[in-house]
Amino acid sequence: MTAFLGPEEWQAVLLSLKVAAWATVASLPFGILAAHALARWSFPGKTLLNMAVHLPLVLPPVVTGYLLLLAFGRQGWLGGALAEIGVVFAFHWTGAALAAAIMAFPLMVRAIRLSIEAVDPKLEEAAATLGAPRPWIFLTVTLPLILPGVIAGAILAFAKAIGEFGATITFVSNIPGETRTLPSAVYAFLQAPSGEDAAVRLVLVAIAIAMAALLLSEWVAQRVARRVGS
């Protein structure tokens, strides 16, 4: 692979994998929580939460990136406070992960929410009558039953995070080795007069990663479905 890809290209691929992995893992608990809230809870502001979750899906990515810059930039209203406790997003790979996570969030929540809605609430009621408090019911009944949906949502989010471009480049720019992910690298190579070969190689890698993710999700979902059995 290192022979096939130049060091700069290889760096972009590794960075993309790191960014997407962090984006997926760090947003997963929030994704499950939001999906559960949307599927099962009733509370004032539920419509608002639903809109907020889905907004990145319909907003132009550049707008999302700009809003992130306003909020988490060095002078942003959150970025300044976070910088004081050592958390920096602006022009940093963590910012690319944040942008990717936010852009992938609606896809993740949708997949998990569908699987939660497919769980019969009567099973959760049955668990309650056996003495189980709600958090325990979630961990021992709901979560195992929605596992295939959670995995599907995570893999979908990972694939989306790998490909995220617009919000990322707006928010954290295109700094080699720091924020130049695979799509940003393809873009950069295509801008250079002699970069087309490198761009094609990266495109092939992107296709390979996407297909591997799909195959993996299929395989895992089948295994889990067999284990959860019905």
- Where do contacts with other proteins occur on this chain (CB under 8 A)? 120, 122-123, 125-134, 140-141, 144-145, 227-230
Q: Based on CB atoms, which residue is closest to other proteins, 215 or 225? A: 225
Q: How far is the CB of 34 from other proteins (least distance, A)?
A: 23
d(CA 158, CA 180): 17
Q: How far apart are CA 138 and CA 116, in angstroms?
A: 11
With beta carbons less than 8 A apart as the criterion, state whether 122 and 194 touch.
no
| Cβ proximity to other proteins, 31 vs 148, nearer residue | 148
For residue 163, the minimal CB distance to other proteins (Å) is: 33
- Residue 150 CB, nearest approach to other proteins (Å): 13
Three-state SS string over 120-182 comes to CHHHHHHHHHCCCCHHHHHHHHHHHHHHHHHHHHHHHHHHHHHHCCHHHHHHHCCCCCCCCCH
Closer residue to other proteins, CB minimum distance, 85 or 130:
130
Asked if residue 207 lies in contact with residue 186, where contact means CB atoms within 8 angstroms, the answer is: no
Q: Which is nearer to other proteins, 3 or 130 (CB)?
A: 130
Distance of closest approach, residue 215 Cβ to other proteins, in angstroms: 25
